[in-house]
Amino acid sequence: MLQKKIIWKLNIIDLLLIVIILLSILALIYKSVSGSGDESEYREYKLTYVCESAPIRLFDTINQGELCIDGATGDEVGELTDFEVTPIIDYVPSDSETTESESDRDSEGDISENADEDNSDDENTDEEDSSDSEDSENSDDRERGVKRNTPTPRPTPEPTRAEAAFTTTVEAAKAEHGIRINKNVYLIGQSMQLVIGNTVFEVYISDMQ
């Protein structure tokens, strides 16, 4: 009888141990599943990168569908789906603007020089006569239909640099701020080196959808 009671107690202890072991296993499984739950949040995002300035010839080396890589981390940050290039045109003043600026500088110099001199009444009279003669010449030219020579605009140089917007699609997880690709977080406004094919561009993230 005593032997049966001992066996019964041992069986209960064994059952308790089995239950504890099972609960521990279930807890580990739940923890591992909940810890990797972020992977189920991965979805497709559309990112827009802006390159403010780069040699225009570099954009001829890339094509849609190429893989994009973060130059600092080596992460694949999507596939290039579209890009738009805008040439940067340097402003070139026309001949008339250049002539006007030169004449303005000359007139300023004349004013400063004449400020130290006293003009006589005869000189003023001569200036008035000369201005009257110029007006009469201009009026005669208008009557005869004579056209004054207009300054020719300077040729616009070919642009050597351009700005661009790159659009990519990538599988990423939503983070507390921005998105996460592998273990790295990417934010709007973040500057980075974007490698497209064999070319690298200095860009920043302007949009994230």
- Express each pLDDT in 98-142 by its tens digit: 555 555 555 555 555 554 555 544 454 445 445 555 555 555 555
Q: Which residue has the tokens 């050597």?
A: 160
Instruction: Report the C-alpha gap between 7 and 67 in whole angstroms.
Output: 68
Instruction: Using alpha carbons, list the distances in angstroms from residue 44 to 125, 161, 176, 180, 193.
Output: 83, 32, 17, 12, 21
Query: Smallest Cα–Cα separation from 181: which of 72, 30, 63, 81?
Result: 72
Give me the DSSP letters along 110-152: HHHHHTTSPPPHHHHHHHHHHHHHHHHHHHHHHHHTPPPPPPP
Residue 11, both tokens:
């069986």
Percentage, residues of the chain above pLDDT 90: 36
Residue 134, both tokens:
């110029």
Mean pLDDT, residues 72-84:
92
Residue 60, both tokens:
């001829």
Domain ranges of the chain: 1-35, 42-90+157-208
Mean pLDDT, residues 152-174:
85
pLDDT at 105: 58
* pLDDT at position 87 over 50: yes
CATH number for the segment(s) 42-90+157-208: 2.40.30.110
* pLDDT at position 72 over 60: yes
The chain-wide mean pLDDT, for the chain, equals 75
pLDDT at 19: 86
Contact 207, 50 (CB under 8 A): no
* pLDDT at position 176 over 50: yes
* pLDDT at position 90 over 60: yes
φ, ψ at 13 (rounded to 5°) = -65, -40
pLDDT at 4: 54
